[in-house]
Homo-oligomer: A and B are copies of this chain.
Amino acid sequence: MGHIVVEVMPKQEILDPQGKAVVGALHRLGHTAVTDVRQGKRFTLTVDGPVTEEHLAAARDAATTALSNPIIEDVVGVYELTGADAAQTAGVEA
């Protein structure tokens, strides 16, 4: 089983009211060094067997066609999740 991460963020020019609310909450918690927060999405795609270049190409395609709204969002990362904690950070059974 392989895992691929797709990261999607709101485009820079898009106002992020959720992020503004989080900044307010962090300041009330004393984290005043934080000046801005943007909230996006992080997907993990599990594929059969090890991740291949075809899988990555499919993930890049899926990222723009199904996992993000190109009008208001940017795909900022598509990469294989490697390392001992791959399953854990993918949020799936190992």
Contacts and interface: CB of A to CB of B under 8 A. Distances in A.
Interface residues on A, range: 35 or more
Contacts of A91: 9-12, 16, 38, 40, 74, 76
A40 B37 contact: no
B7 A89 contact: yes
Q: How many monomers of this chain does the complex have?
A: 2
- Secondary structure dominating the interface of A: mixed
B29 A66 contact: yes
Contacts of A11: 91
Interface of A: 1, 7-12, 16, 19, 22, 25-26, 29, 31, 33-48, 54-55, 58-59, 61-62, 65-67, 74, 76-77, 85, 88-93
